[in-house]
Chains A and B, each alone.
Chain A
Amino acid sequence: MSDVRQPLLKVRDLEVTFHAHGHAVSAVAGVSFDIFEGETLGLVGESGCGKSTTGKALMRIVEPSSGTIELDGTNVATLSGKVLRAARTKMQMIFQDPISSLNPRRRVKDIVAEPLDCWNKVQGDERATIVHDLLSKVGIDPVVYGDRYARQFSGGQCQRISIARSLAMRPKLLICDEMVSALDVSVQAQILNLLEDLKAEYGLTLLFIAHDLAVVKNVSDRVAVMYLGKICEIGPADTLYESPAHPYTEFLLGAALEADPDSPMHSQTLEGEPPSPMNPPSGCRFRTRCPKATQKCADEEPLPQEVAPNHLVSCHYPLTITHKTPTPTAVDG
């Protein structure tokens, strides 16, 4: 079962290197993945693994040091100036902190219209109509709240406004970086449902970056797991969670706390903390914490191998895949 459809976003060997105090820190160290049209790819990992940097590099908010980012057939990584600006309108980003990502002293309707104003696309009544529609779509009453300032809103409402702003340019790809992690569970559920509705309505393709494994599974068709700047496993959400192939994914899922007193307690917890990206281990980057590591893991970097349809893992000793339920199609709609 291989995908014949063309990916909307094709990322190959993306690297981002920061320079700090004379050291080179490779935050993203060669990441490759595809996102197909209409699909949601979840990107999970612990802090410092490079998931947010990957998202920002796709937007060219941080500069990739090498690699290609092909969006709709155009390599965004090499563009500059006006062409880059034009290409960027096809992708938009929603950030973690809803309150600080909006200017507290601007009116909501102007915040939402800002992308339109930047491009001088529409004026007057047309502009007002678009803003009215966008705000209604995200559940903010434009008549009552349109003239209020961003500072007058709660976190959940600010995130709704951010979503409206991100949709103003009718983007194809939406990059959501920890967009619900600052919200309470009841508000988080509202925003996640809203995102699913808008995705269907606007035909969006999503890269959903988050640390919360339950949230990521709920919204994603496929999930990629990152560790120390590299993707260690990528596959369909249901099968990856049910039967992880990389030891790190297994530990990560074992550490996730389920809101259920009868959920099995995993006695095995991952010891220690990730090594510094300034000085990553040779070979497999997880080997220093992996109970299965051998000399081979230190000598050779494991390359991605397909262990099940659309399920790739970078490990010399992957876990056996056990499919308890029939594999759902990797991509739908």
Chain B
Amino acid sequence: MSDEKLLVVTDLKTTFDTANGPLPAVGGVSFDLERNETLGIVGESGSGKTVLSRTIMGLQPRTKVSVTGSSVIDGFEVVGASENDKRKIWGTEVAMIFQDPMTSLNPVMRIGKQIDEALRVRLGMDKAAAKARAIELLELVGIPSPQERYNAYPGMLSGGMRQRVVIAIALACSPKLLMADEPTTGLDVTIQAQILNLLDELKDRLKMSVILVTHDLGVVATRTSRIIVMYAGRIVETGNTRDVFYHHRMPYTKALLESSPKVSNHSHTRLVTIPGRPPNLLSLPDGCAFAPRCSYATDQCHLVRPELEPSTEPGHTFACWNPLPINVEGALA
């Protein structure tokens, strides 16, 4: 295994061509990912986290979209690569778990066949070898009696079991990078805990890197080593998970943390709210996109967009003209 970083994303931009003009869903994102690391990407709906994760692996519509910048997965440049070339890395280098386990499986195809498909097409296995490997994979993701389940249809399984099948398909060709887009949204808490534990365990066992894309700060708090916070298509703060939670400098990060209810709060705790709504991406302001909702905003914030700058801890950067003072223990305030 080389020492190179597994993923290097540089100034990645995804712009959709809509009837109302260009929509910059991802507006220039740069970051990298080590091998065997778990990175969390958090943001609210419309922050561009899903589009970013899809653009990284080259999953976007063929028309009405323009992608610039660079996304290099294990030495392979995804941006500008042909569909045929991208297919060579899908499955084997990078795989994706989609949000909705109810709709990401084919309802009229036995689950075994859906796992076989990846093995036979990508790895060229014969029918018997593919079946044996599919059953192994079902066992790996913790599905009881995999021999029988191999012949089950998705409708016969619960949501949690279906998400395990989706994970088995993603792992079929032993990818080095697993992208999980809201892998537990819509699942019950006890099932969510099972799935997140499974992902953690598989990451170490198969020496993968995982990118967890979610709106739920609880999901990333204890399961990631680093976090990216996105707002209006850009990274507004990134750093080690603890630094982002406890020493955040960007007011949006603080507001996001404070507005989520906590189990440890007393009942009837007043929540801190962010006034207003996320910006319209079709008409983004010149300055900081969060400025209209930010209580610290000054004239400069409305006029000039802040770039990411380093904080005191290594790897911790934030984009803000009026950052919060260092060592604010804001997360639990």
Contact at A259–B268, with CB atoms within 8 Å? no
Contact at B263–A214, with CB atoms within 8 Å? yes
B257's partner among A218, A254, A259 (CB-CB below 8 A) is A259
Nearest CB on A from B33, distance (A): 19
A218-B271 contact given A252-B189, A255-B189, A270-B190, CB 8 Å threshold: yes
A185's partner among B193, B219, B259, B265 (CB-CB below 8 A) is B259
Which of B1-9, B105-113, B131-139, B210-218 makes up part of the contact surface? B210-218
**Cβ of A175 under 8 Å from chain B:** no
Give A30 to B255 CA distance when docked, in angstroms.
Answer: 43
A215 nearest in chain B by CB position: B261
Count contacts on A: residues with CB < 8 A to the other chain.
45
**Cβ of B158 under 8 Å from chain A:** yes
Contact at A259–B44, with CB atoms within 8 Å? no
Give A188 to B271 CA distance when docked, in angstroms.
Answer: 10
Contact at B277–A255, with CB atoms within 8 Å? no
Contact at B189–A256, with CB atoms within 8 Å? yes
Give A215 to B267 CA distance when docked, in angstroms.
Answer: 9
Give A185 to B273 CA distance when docked, in angstroms.
Answer: 9
A257's partner among B161, B191, B192 (CB-CB below 8 A) is B192
B263's partner among A187, A211, A251, A256 (CB-CB below 8 A) is A256
**Cβ of A220 under 8 Å from chain B:** yes
- Chain A window 37-50, contacts with chain B (Cβ cutoff 8 Å), 1 for yes, 0 for no: 00000000011000
**Cβ of A165 under 8 Å from chain B:** no
**Cβ of B104 under 8 Å from chain A:** no
Contact at A220–B267, with CB atoms within 8 Å? yes
Contact at B263–A217, with CB atoms within 8 Å? yes
Nearest CB on A from B245, distance (A): 5
**Cβ of B241 under 8 Å from chain A:** yes
A260's partner among B194, B196, B272, B331 (CB-CB below 8 A) is B331
Which of A15-23, A67-75, A190-198 makes up part of the contact surface? A190-198
Contact at A193–B271, with CB atoms within 8 Å? yes
- Chain B window 218-251, contacts with chain A (Cβ cutoff 8 Å), 1 for yes, 0 for no: 1101100000000000000000011001100000
Contact at A184–B45, with CB atoms within 8 Å? yes
- CB contacts (< 8 Å) of A214 on chain B: these are 218, 260-263, 265
Contact at B273–A269, with CB atoms within 8 Å? no
- CB contacts (< 8 Å) of A256 on chain B: these are 189, 218, 263
**Cβ of A25 under 8 Å from chain B:** no
**Cβ of B270 under 8 Å from chain A:** yes
**Cβ of A247 under 8 Å from chain B:** no
A258-B264 contact given A186-B273, A193-B271, A211-B189, CB 8 Å threshold: yes
Contact at B241–A261, with CB atoms within 8 Å? yes
**Cβ of A154 under 8 Å from chain B:** yes
A182 nearest in chain B by CB position: B45
**Cβ of B256 under 8 Å from chain A:** yes
Give A252 to B188 CA distance when docked, in angstroms.
Answer: 10
List 24 contacting pairs A-B, 8 Å CB cutoff, sorted by A. Answer: A156-B277, A184-B215, A185-B256, A186-B273, A188-B259, A188-B261, A189-B271, A189-B272, A193-B271, A214-B218, A217-B265, A219-B267, A221-B268, A238-B267, A252-B189, A255-B189, A255-B192, A257-B189, A257-B193, A258-B264, A259-B218, A259-B260, A261-B245, A265-B222
What residues make up the interface of B, taking CB atoms closer than 8 Å to A? 44-45, 158-161, 188-194, 196-197, 215-219, 221-222, 241-242, 245-246, 255-257, 259-274, 277, 331-332
What residues make up the interface of A, taking CB atoms closer than 8 Å to B? 46-47, 154, 156, 184-190, 192-193, 196, 211-215, 217-221, 237-238, 241, 251-261, 263, 265-266, 269-271, 273
